[in-house]
């Protein structure tokens, strides 16, 4: 990552020098403790590159009481702006050349300074808001409703308070969706996008408070208060560790994963983007569109009776599995999954290929069709459905094994996993395995959904939220080779008298590539042993799947002697698939803003306890 | 790798202690300088794990004059044997448990001790042979011919000398092929397997000399001396760097690779396993076997006229490309390729699929057929052909694009590249792209050739030549994601006044997976920039191949400012393919005995020269 503080350390003696270089003539106008402010300002810049900028403003606020930010920031704002402009226009400035600065470096620095304007302005606003102490005016709902555009101002209400969030719209992490709430109450949206129910979000909101809602308008609001869209979500097994409750996102404890080759449905990780839709199986209809014969509509009964039933064993993995480890290397944005956002199940249903052929897919369509789009019955508050797409050749290939699955592990697919129909795209990232499938569209284009276009993609470690260009990377389909240790757990205490240590885990690769080997180290990667692979729960079963159709994971296990004298062991696993692709050693070089594709070596530290410690 | 010396450092105080632990009672019988011997003995063990054991014996010999090995080794041999046996049988030996030794550790150590017997014995024999100085007896060819089995002894002649190589047979790196020469002259074999023409091989042979061949028999031998089987090999471009002349194996300078998207034929790397066969195109016949209709025989004209001509652009890469870098991490066995054992060409010919369909391939055959075997017209001295196989679904798939190519870059395939027919298996390791194709066999089995079964496979870093089990790993087919820097070259001097540095290279992945990004670092991996990818020589051409059929490489390029103050730069490149597989950071963890699949980050160090240095 670009580390602005390093540049300052090597190039500038102190911030005041920077200002002089930028052409700021009158140093006397600067407050004496400007360097303190600059320290925090550039600390800010640095952190803003890697952390959700919103979170940082809390730090700003907390520093206030100890006086670090008590100088007049308004004096500094024009300085920063001036710096940015001067840097941009100083292509012929010899002083920069003397310091080895090229045009590119200046532009980077200028961009950083300019780009920070929003954050700094927001911080100043926040600071001012906190300082207010006089009673706020009473505002009517009618007045609030008049403020529903950037031109007229964007006002919202929350629990009887009125907030002018005009300035916040452009820096809202969720983008323009925030405008849906303009002129009205914010509660219905926050109940759907439950990520907002966090202390720091309320704290940020409070900075924009401009008044209190008229008592009778508040009373009316409460009468119409929308119900919780997640209230009809199904019951979940209490052993699951939830990374988010609304929408529900949860994973099992890692040890459970290696207990059985087929992950019990109750323990299979759940990754919902929206509330679980309630579907009446008798009224359910699947629409197949985009083919010359027009729309084909199929009932659940049609899918079960008109097409042969196929069963495959396939591992599904969330693109964010193991994000928590990448997050430790450098902060990313997303649910903090451990190693449990993966599971292996049997899936039964109609082949997508068969359904597409029945709907009129043929050589003529193959001429122009490039993708098959899927829409779920789970809907955003705007009414738009969850969506994804896969390449047409995966969808129609005999060997693609894409199913419109109505059974998971031999029973009806449960609500959390897509009842009554989930498209199972083996070898492909979980997000394209659309649940509660409502519509299939054969198209020349990819799905236009947020999740296909602007979410599940990988980027270079240099790319941050300011520079990310979602068009520059392909949507994730096949996933890279992956493995993880499920037991022992991080920090486990191993009794030395046991002499041997058993390490277990899973390994899988995308695209139907079979895992052919897992290497395990108990000494931090100095030496490696080959683990024993399991392709089923049957002892000694070593049957291989057809080439290119290894959809299911391998469980692995190895028992090694405890190295004498070692007091702590760093256990590592790494897998190799039959294309001989391997996992990267470390997370830094595969780091990406969304924390996806987190497949560096899995490392687990355990301690060895001595007999005499216990006696 | 298992490092025996570490065990000794941590577990045993000195080698004499080891012997006591093994049950050797009478320490007095040991020579006083036994510990020196043991040092070299265990040094031996360690080196034997990683290096061709043969090479080591030279060191042994060289140590002799300075007296390090002048003690009586015969005293030590039984000690070693005894150690091995005692270790194996000491499962209940409490002394080992006290030192944290488990049964497994004992077995490992015992195995190492026992496995070293051959090497040590060979060393002793060698040593003794060197000591001989009396004139050797004259031996007749008739007498030599009587020694052609392990039972009767294995004698060979070489340039008038007679050698008893009975003890060497079991440790010959080339396996039992050596028996072909038993009872006769070794020259014809060495002229085919030209790897023997090295000083240390002659030195080793000399240790087995037992006599001189009768003068009149030597005269007869010279009359029948076979001609050089490589004498009819074609002329090659002098710019190629040869890693081996017979068979011819050579690569272009790296800079040439990034000069043009299509590698000129003359500069395309050459990897021959045997002499180039001379094929008369009019007499050439391709035999297609294993199908119910019997053998289909096709002339070159048939292949050109009876089947549609297809053209693909495909990159071929040797599995040993970049071996020299892995070799630096730890020594491996194989040709010391740089980054040039890769090239990109257009190939035209009949589709293998079309030929197999014409030969009778159909759904019935698909029931049992699993592989398509290829045999070259290049032959070993035994008469057996070079061979390889690929999975049947790659061979018959519409999207597999396997060609029976008769053109390379728009002209007849030249002799070095397989004239008149080479099977081009895009996305698959070079070795399966059989040249001088003579026979195709549809089969339930893989090719039984040495190269399919016992050569081109990858193993865990812990596996060495003593423990390798070729049955435990699949034959390499698709290769993992790869990239390398072609310019600047290692050690280049960059003039600081140039301010900017341009780095170029190639990137490719197996299995038709398109390279979607190349990250380049100029600071040893601390920060990364995204390089510009090229899919042709046309400026701005960014057309993508069909999904899963990206057979050709990407060239890439990036221009970065020279970091101020840096005096040396470590340039690194790493590629990502569209399955988001990445290259591993370092070579140690992907090290394997044959030095294959060498795809860790490519690192190039360059120096920056200052103006004043030049003035």
pLDDT tens digits along A337-395: 999 999 999 999 999 999 999 999 999 999 999 999 999 999 987 889 999 999 999 99
Contact B565/A10, CB-based, under 8 Å? yes
Residues of B belonging to the active site: 172, 196, 271, 318, 456
Q: What is the pLDDT of residue B585?
A: 97
Residues near A539 by beta carbon (within 8 Å), at least 6 away in sequence: none
Average pLDDT over residues B118-135: 48
**A422-424 and A403-408 as β-strands: parallel, antiparallel, unpaired?**
antiparallel
Gap between the Cα atoms of B301 and B306, Å rounded: 8
On the question of pLDDT at A59 being above 70, the answer is no
Gap between the Cα atoms of B470 and B452, Å rounded: 10
Q: What is the pLDDT of residue A507?
A: 98
Spatial contact of A293 and A369, defined as CB atoms under 8 Å apart = no
Average pLDDT over residues B419-446: 98
Average pLDDT over residues B60-85: 37
DSSP secondary structure letter of residue A405: E
Contact A565/B100, CB-based, under 8 Å? yes
Task: Search chain B and give the residue with CA nearest A559.
Answer: B104
Gap between the Cα atoms of B343 and B206, Å rounded: 42
State the CATH class of domain A241-454: alpha beta
Q: What is the pLDDT of residue B604?
A: 98
Option in B1, B561, B580 nearest A527 (CB):
B1
Spatial contact of A247 and A274, defined as CB atoms under 8 Å apart = yes
Gap between the Cα atoms of A321 and A252, Å rounded: 12
Mutation choice for A interface testing from B580, B598, B603 by most A CBs within 10 A: B580
Q: Which chain A residues have a beta carbon less than 8 Å from that of B588?
A: 525
On the question of pLDDT at A590 being above 50, the answer is yes
Average pLDDT over residues B489-516: 96
Contact A564/B99, CB-based, under 8 Å? yes
Task: Name the pLDDT band for B612 (thresholds 50, 70, 90).
Answer: low
DSSP secondary structure letter of residue B168: G
Task: Name the pLDDT band for A197 (thresholds 50, 70, 90).
Answer: confident
Q: What is the pLDDT of residue B224?
A: 59
* Cross-strand pairs, A242: A250
On the question of pLDDT at A9 being above 70, the answer is no
What is the Rg, in whole angstroms, of the alpha carbon atoms belonging to chain A? 28
On the question of pLDDT at A446 being above 60, the answer is yes
Q: Which chain B residues have a beta carbon less than 8 Å from that of A372?
A: none
Q: Which of A1-10, A416-425, B285-294 has the lowest mean pLDDT?
A: A1-10
What is this structure's pTM?
0.72
Average pLDDT over residues A324-332: 95
Task: Name the pLDDT band for B610 (thresholds 50, 70, 90).
Answer: confident
Task: Name the pLDDT band for A10 (thresholds 50, 70, 90).
Answer: very low
Closest CA to B349 of B275, B437, B217: B437
Residues near B89 by beta carbon (within 8 Å), at least 6 away in sequence: none
Average pLDDT, chain A: 81
On the question of pLDDT at B98 being above 50, the answer is no
| Catalytic residue check, A196 | yes
The residue with tokens 């969720």 is A174
Average pLDDT over residues B6-17: 36
Contact A393/B548, CB-based, under 8 Å? yes
Task: Name the pLDDT band for A422 (thresholds 50, 70, 90).
Answer: very high
Per-domain boundaries in chain A: 138-224, 241-454, 481-609
Task: Name the pLDDT band for A612 (thresholds 50, 70, 90).
Answer: low
CB atoms within 10 A of CB B88: 16
Q: What is the pLDDT of residue B226?
A: 60
Task: Name the pLDDT band for B182 (thresholds 50, 70, 90).
Answer: confident
pLDDT tens digits along B532-541: 999 998 877 7
Half-sphere CA count of A386, side-chain side, radius 13 A = 23
Q: What is the pLDDT of residue A225?
A: 58
Q: Which of A138-147, A263-272, B98-107, B486-495 has the lowest mean pLDDT?
A: B98-107
On the question of pLDDT at B294 being above 90, the answer is yes
Which of B88-92, B196-200, B582-586 is most confident?
B582-586
Task: Name the pLDDT band for A148 (thresholds 50, 70, 90).
Answer: confident
Task: Name the pLDDT band for B495 (thresholds 50, 70, 90).
Answer: very high
Spatial contact of B378 and B275, defined as CB atoms under 8 Å apart = yes
DSSP secondary structure letter of residue A117: H
Contact A547/B393, CB-based, under 8 Å? yes
* Cross-strand pairs, B502: B559
Option in B393, B458, B582 nearest A480 (CB):
B582
Four-way CATH pick for B138-224: 3.10.120.10, 1.20.120.430, 3.30.43.10, 3.30.450.40: 3.10.120.10
Give helix A76-89 / helix A34-50 axis angle, nearest 10°: 60
Q: What is the pLDDT of residue B177?
A: 75
Contact A579/B478, CB-based, under 8 Å? yes
Average pLDDT over residues B81-100: 35
On the question of pLDDT at B82 being above 80, the answer is no
Q: HEC states along B31-45?
A: CCCHHHHHHHHHHHH
Option in B499, B510, B517 nearest A579 (CB):
B510
pLDDT tens digits along A495-536: 999 999 999 999 999 999 999 999 999 999 999 999 999 999
Average pLDDT over residues B226-233: 83
The residue with tokens 């470590």 is B570
Q: Which chain A residues have a beta carbon less than 8 Å from that of B511?
A: 511, 579
On the question of pLDDT at B67 being above 60, the answer is no
On the question of pLDDT at A413 being above 80, the answer is yes
Task: Name the pLDDT band for A58 (thresholds 50, 70, 90).
Answer: very low
Closest CA to A30 of A66, A82, A67: A82
CATH of domain A481-609: 2.60.40.650
Spatial contact of A476 and A457, defined as CB atoms under 8 Å apart = yes
Task: Name the pLDDT band for A234 (thresholds 50, 70, 90).
Answer: very high
CB atoms within 10 A of CB A446: 19
Q: What is the pLDDT of residue A226?
A: 60
Task: Search chain B and give the residue with CA nearest A582.
Answer: B584
On the question of pLDDT at A121 being above 50, the answer is no
**B464 vs chain A: nearest CA distance in angstroms?**
12
Q: What is the pLDDT of residue B412?
A: 98
Q: Which chain B residues have a beta carbon less than 8 Å from that of A517?
A: 460, 473
Residue with the larger pLDDT of the pair B195 and A461 = A461
Option in A458, A477, A530 nearest B462 (CB):
A530
Task: Name the pLDDT band for B135 (thresholds 50, 70, 90).
Answer: confident
Residue with the larger pLDDT of the pair B290 and A183 = B290
On the question of pLDDT at A99 being above 90, the answer is no
Contact B519/A99, CB-based, under 8 Å? no
């Amino acid at each position: 990552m670009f580390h602005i503080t390093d540049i300052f350390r090597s190039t500038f003696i102190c911030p005041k020098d920077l200002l002089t270089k930028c052409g700021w003539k009158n140093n006397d106008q600067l407050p004496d403790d400007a360097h303190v402010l600059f320290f925090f300002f550039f600390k800010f810049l640095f952190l803003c590159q890697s952390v959700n900028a919103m979170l940082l403003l809390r730090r700003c606020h907390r520093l206030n009481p100890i006086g670090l930010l008590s100088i007049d920031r308004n004096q500094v704002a024009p300085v920063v702006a001036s710096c940015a402009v001067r840097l941009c226009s100083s292509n012929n400035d010899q002083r920069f050349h003397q310091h080895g600065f090229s045009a590119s470096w200046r532009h980077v620095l200028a961009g950083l300074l300019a780009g920070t304007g929003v954050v700094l302005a927001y911080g100043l606003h926040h600071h001012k808001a906190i300082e207010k102490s006089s009673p706020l005016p009473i505002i009517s709902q009618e007045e609030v409703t008049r403020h529903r555009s950037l031109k007229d101002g964007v006002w919202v209400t929350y629990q009887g308070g009125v907030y002018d969030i005009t300035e916040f719209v452009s820096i809202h992490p969720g983008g323009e969706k925030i405008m849906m709430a303009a002129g009205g109450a914010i509660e219905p949206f926050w109940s759907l996008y439950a990520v907002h129910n966090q202390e720091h979000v309320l704290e940020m909101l409070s900075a924009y408070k401009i008044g209190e809602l008229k008592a009778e308008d508040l009373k009316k609001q409460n009468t119409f208060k929308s119900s919780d869209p997640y209230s009809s979500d199904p019951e979940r097994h209490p052993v699951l560790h939830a990374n988010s409750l609304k929408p529900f996102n949860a994973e099992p404890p890692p040890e459970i994963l290696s207990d059985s080759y087929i992950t019990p449905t109750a323990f299979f990780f759940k990754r919902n983007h929206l509330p679980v839709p309630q579907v009446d199986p008798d009224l359910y209809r699947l629409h197949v569109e985009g083919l010359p014969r027009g729309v084909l509509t199929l009932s659940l009964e049609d899918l079960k009776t008109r097409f042969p039933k196929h069963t495959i064993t396939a591992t599904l993995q969330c693109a964010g599995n193991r994000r928590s480890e990448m997050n430790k290397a450098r902060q990313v944005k997303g649910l903090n999954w451990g190693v449990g956002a993966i599971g292996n199940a049997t899936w039964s249903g109609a082949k997508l290929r068969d359904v597409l052929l029945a709907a009129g897919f043929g050589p003529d369509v193959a001429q122009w069709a490039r993708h098959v789009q899927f829409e779920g019955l789970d809907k955003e508050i705007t009414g738009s459905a969850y969506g994804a797409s896969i390449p047409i050749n995966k969808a129609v290939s005999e060997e693609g094994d894409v199913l419109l699955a109505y059974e998971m592990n031999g029973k009806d697919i449960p609500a959390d996993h897509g009842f009554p129909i989930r498209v199972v795209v083996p070898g492909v990232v979980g997000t394209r395995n659309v649940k509660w499938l409502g519509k299939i569209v054969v198209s020349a284009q990819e799905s236009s959904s947020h999740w296909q276009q602007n979410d599940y993609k990988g980027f270079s470690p240099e790319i941050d939220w300011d520079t990310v260009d979602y068009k520059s990377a392909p949507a994730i389909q096949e996933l890279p080779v992956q493995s993880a240790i499920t037991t022992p757990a991080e920090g486990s205490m191993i009794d030395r008298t046991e002499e041997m240590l058993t390490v277990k885990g899973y390994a899988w690769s995308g695209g139907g590539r079979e895992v052919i080997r897992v290497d395990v180290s108990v000494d931090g990667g100095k030496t490696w042993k080959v683990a024993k692979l399991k392709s089923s729960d049957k002892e000694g079963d070593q049957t291989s799947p057809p080439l290119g159709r290894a959809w299911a994971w391998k469980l692995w296990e190895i028992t090694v002697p405890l190295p004498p004298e070692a007091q702590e062991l760093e256990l590592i696993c790494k897998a190799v698939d039959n294309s001989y692709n391997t996992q990267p050693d470390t997370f830094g070089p595969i780091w990406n803003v969304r924390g996806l594709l987190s497949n560096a070596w899995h490392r687990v530290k355990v301690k060895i306890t001595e007999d005499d410690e216990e006696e």
